[in-house]
Amino acid sequence: MMRFWYGLFIIACGLSVPATLAYNYEAVEDPAVVADTIAEMDEMAESVVSQLRLDDLTEFRRLPVLHNGRKMPMQTYARLLLVQLSGRTSYEGEPAESWLARLILDPVSTLDDRVFLINHPEVAQALNIPVDENRRYSFTDLHGAMGRLGNLAQRAARLESDDRSQVENELLRLYANQVLYLDIYHSFEFARPHPAFAIEHDELIQALDLPRQDRPYRFFDIFVRAGSLQSLIEPLATKQPDQWSDLEHAAYALSSRMYDWSQRHQESTFVMIPLMSHGEETWLSAWDSFALGFRDATSLEILNALAEMAEAYQAGQQLDFDMAARHFRRLVAERLDDDRGMANLDREVRFNDLNALHRATWLYGWAFFVSLFALMGRSRWPYSISLLLLALAFVLHSTGMIMRMVIMGRPPMTNLYATFIFVSWVCVILGLFVELFQRNRMGVLTGSLSGVLLLMFSRRFEMEGDTMGAVVAVLDSNFWLSTHVTTITAGYAGCLLAGVIGHVWLLQAAINPMRTERLRSIYYAMMAMLGFGLTFSFLGTMLGGVWADQSWGRFWGWDPKENGALLIVLWTAVLYHARLGRMIGDVAMAAGTIVGAIIVMMAWLGVNLLGVGLHSYGFTSGLATNLFAYTAFELLFIAILAPLAKWRMVNV
C-alpha cells in the first residue's frame, strides 16, 4: 500500500510541478493537480529496487554535470545536492556520490533515507509529522504531507521575500528541495523497465523489432525505434478510430505514452548532455534530449551510454558500468572540445578527495594547542612540534588553494569564501615571518590561531552552495582580481594579525608585565603587522579605485565597500599619528589594533549586510548576529584588559 502512495506522489509531482531551479519559489504550483494522476500509480509502484550495489564509483564521480553555469564533476554535484537537502556532505557515512548514484539509478532505495533537513520544528508541526530529534526526514516521512506542504508553500510564495517569516522561508526551502529530489529521482527513468511499456501485443513487438522478454521494456527501447512506431501511426491521420486495427490501436496508445513521458520531465535541472549550437554552449537533461527530438547519431550514442550505465548499475556489473561511464564521458568530451575543462573535472575530484583545507584546519588547531603548551613550559619539544604542525598545515593549505586556482583558472579570490582561504593563508605566512625574525613562539601562536579561526568560519560558506561558482561579467578580469583583491585582502590579513597580537600583548601586560623584553618583542611584531596592513590596505583600496576607474569611469564613489577599506586606512593612520604625537601609549595602541581588527571584519563582511552598493555580493544568513557577538566580545575584552594592563604596568 505504501508503494501505491509513493507512486501517486512521484507521478503527481512529476506532472504537476515543472522542474524548477532550486529555490525558484515563483514556480510553486497548484497542489490540486496532484489528485488527477491516480490511474498511473500502480504502474509506478512496480519500480525495481536493486539488491545489488556497486562499490566502486571512480568513473561515475568524474562524469560532467552542469550546475549554476559551471561544469563540475558528479562528485561535487552530489555533495552540493546533499548539502542543500540535508546540510551534510555525506549520508550516514555513505559518500555523497554513492547516494546520488542510488537516487538516479536506483531511486526507490532512497525513499527511506533521512535526507530532508527541517531546521524549524514548527514546520514539522505544521505538516503534522512527528518531530525528529535529528531534524532530518525521509521522503516516506514527508509523503503524507505533500499536499499540505504544497498549499503552505504556495501561500508563502505569494508574500514578498522581506515579509516572510523564518517558518515560511523554511517551508519554501523544503518544498523546493522536494521538487529537486523528485526531479533527480526521475532523471534516469527512461533507462529502467517500466510497466507503462509492458507490450503484450505480439504483432507490435514484431513490428518494432523488440526482443521478446518477460519484463517490461524501457522508454529508451521504444525511443530508439521511434521511426518504426511513427510509420505505424502515420496512416492513422486519415482513418477513423473505428477503422483502426488492434495493432494500430496498440501503436497509438504506445506513442501517446511516449509523448506524455517525454513531456513530463522537461526542463529538468539535472543536465549532463552538452550541445554546441552557433558557438553557444547549452546543456540538456536526458529528458530534454528526448523531448526536443535529438535523434542524431551522437545524441543517441550519448543517451545509449547513459542507458547502459543505468542497466549495469541495476545488474551490479561493475565493468560494464565503468565502460559505459567512460564511453559517455568520451562522447561529451568530443562534443565540448574543451580538454582543459574535462581535465579540470579530474582535478576537482582529486581536490575533493584530498580535502586539504579541512585537514589544514585540524592541523592549525593542533598547532595552536601545542603552541600554548610551548608558551607555558620550558621544554623545547612542544615548540618544535607546533612549528612542524603549522608548517604541515600551511603546505596543505597552500596545496588546496593552488588546486582551486588551477581548477578555476583564476586568482585565489572570486567570492567571499575564497577571500577567507586567502586571508588566513596570508595570516599564516605573516605568522611564520614573525617567528622567523623573533623566535619567541608568538608567530606560531597567532598564525595558527588565525588559520584555524578563519578556515573554520569559511566552512559556513561551503554549506551555502558552490564555492567555485561562475564569475559574473564585472569581476571577469584576472588582472584586477589578482591585483586589487589580493592586495586588499593582504591588507586585511596584516591588520587582523596585528589585532590578534594586540590581544596577546594586552594579556601579557595584564598577567606578567615584568617580562619587559617579551612585551617589547610582541609590541614590535604588532607594529610590523600594522605597517604591513596599512601598506597593503592603502594599495588595495587605491587599486580598487583604479579598477573602478577602468570599469565605471570613476576613481572613487563612496560605495560602502570602498568606505570600509578607507576606514581601515584612516584608523591605522589615526593610530600611527596619535602614537607619534604621544597622544596614546602602548596599552591604547594594542587596544587600537583590536579595534582595527573589528573594522576589518566590518569592512570585509559587515558591508555585505547593508545590501547596498556594488560590492554587496555574498550575503550570509546569521552573519549579523555573529558580527555583533564578535564586536561585543572584543569591546568587552578591551574594557577589561586595557585598564587592568595599565594598572599592572604601573603598580607591579
Partner 1 sequence: MKHLFAFFLSLRLTVVCLLLLCVLTVVGTLYQVDYGLYTAQQRFFDSWIVLFFGVIPFPGTQLVLLFLFINLFANMMLRFQYGAKQSGIIMIHLGLMLLLAGGWVTRQFGQEMFLTLQEGEGSNLASDYHDWEIALWREGQTRMRDVVAIDADYAKPGRVLPFEEFGLRLVVEEFHRHARAFRSTDPNADFGILNSTRLIRLDPARPHWEPQENVPGGMFLIQTADGQSQPLLLFGGDQAPTIFEHNGEEIALSLRRKRYQLPMNILLLNFEKTFHPNSDIPRSFASAIEVDLQGVTRDVLIEMNRPFRYQGYTFYQASYADLDHGQHLSTFAIVLNYGRVIPYLATAITFVGLSVHFLIALYTRRRDL
Q: Which is nearer to partner 1, 367 or 542 (CB)?
A: 542
Q: Which residue's entry shows cell 581588527?
A: 597
Q: Nearest distance from residue 251's CB to partner 1, in Å?
A: 35
Q: Which one, 237 or 612, has the nearer CB to partner 1?
A: 612
* Shortest CB 184 distance to partner 1, Å: 16
What Cα–Cα distance (Å) separates residue 141 from each residue in 130, 172, 186? 9, 18, 19
Write phi, then psi, for 174 (nearest 5 degrees): -65, -40
Question: Among residues 396 and 543, whose Cβ is nearest to partner 1?
Answer: 543
Contacting positions for partner 1 (CB under 8 A) = 66, 68-70, 271, 274, 280-283, 469-470, 472-474, 476-477, 480, 520, 523-524, 527-528, 530-532, 534-535, 538-539, 542-543, 545-546, 549-560, 563-564, 566-567, 570-571, 573-574, 577-581, 583, 607, 610-613
Residues in a beta bridge with 136? 117
DSSP states of 122-148 as a string?
A: HHHHHTT-PPPTTSEE-HHHHHTTHHH
Q: Residues 593, 502: contact at Cβ < 8 Å?
A: yes
Q: How far is the CB of 270 from partner 1 (least distance, A)?
A: 11
Kind and range of the H or E element at 37? none
Nearest C-alpha neighbor of 204 from the set 190, 217, 220, 191: 217
Q: Which is nearer to partner 1, 259 or 552 (CB)?
A: 552
Q: Least Å distance between CB 215 and partner 1?
A: 35
- What is the C-alpha end-to-end distance of the chain, expressed in Å? 81
**Distance from C-alpha of 478 to C-alpha of 411, rounded to nearest angstrom:** 7
Total H helices, total E strands in the chain:
28, 8
Specify the residue, 614 or 644, whose C-beta has the smaller distance to partner 1: 614
Nearer to partner 1, 23 or 362 (CB): 23
Least spacing, CB of residue 623 vs partner 1, in Å: 16
> What CA–CA distance (Å, rounded) separates 605 from 600?
8
Return left, alpha or beta for 221; rule: phi > 0 is left, psi -120 to 50 is alpha, else beta.
alpha
Instruction: Compute the distance between CA of residue 125 and CA of residue 131 in angstroms, rounded to an integer.
Output: 7
Q: How far is the CB of 614 from partner 1 (least distance, A)?
A: 9
Query: Mind giving me the DSSP string for 462-526?
Result: HTTS-TTPPPPGGG--HHHIIIIIHHHHHHHHHHHHHHHHHHHHHHHHHH-TT-HHHHHHHHHHH
Of residues 282 and 355, the one with the C-beta less far from partner 1? 282
Q: How far is the CB of 5 from partner 1 (least distance, A)?
A: 33
Is the CB of 76 or the CB of 371 nearer to partner 1? 76
What is the rounded distance in angstroms from the CA atom of residue 98 to the CA atom of residue 92?
11
Closest CB 45 distance from partner 1, rounded Å: 33
* Nearer residue to partner 1 within complex by CB, 66 or 390: 66
Those residues with Cβ within 8 angstroms of residue 245's Cβ, 6 or more apart along the chain or in another chain: none
Strands 94-95 and 90-91: antiparallel
Q: Which is nearer to partner 1, 371 or 486 (CB)?
A: 486
- Report which of 182, 169, 190 is spatially closest to residue 110, judged by C-alpha positions: 182
By beta-carbon proximity to partner 1, the closer residue of 401 and 490 is 490
- Secondary structure (DSSP) of 585-602: -HHHHHHHHHHHHHHHHI
* Cβ 420 to partner 1 shortest distance, Å: 22
Asked whether the beta carbons of 94 and 55 are under 8 A apart, the reply is no
Q: How far is the CB of 88 from partner 1 (least distance, A)?
A: 26
Nearer to partner 1, 31 or 491 (CB): 491
Nearer to partner 1, 86 or 608 (CB): 608
Quick one: which of 461, 618, 628, 611 has its CA closest to 161?
A: 611
What are the contacts of 89-95 at 24+ separation with CB within 8 A? 91/115, 95/57
Cβ 581 to partner 1 shortest distance, Å: 4
**Could you give the CA distance from residue 27 to residue 10 in angstroms, rounded to a whole number?**
18
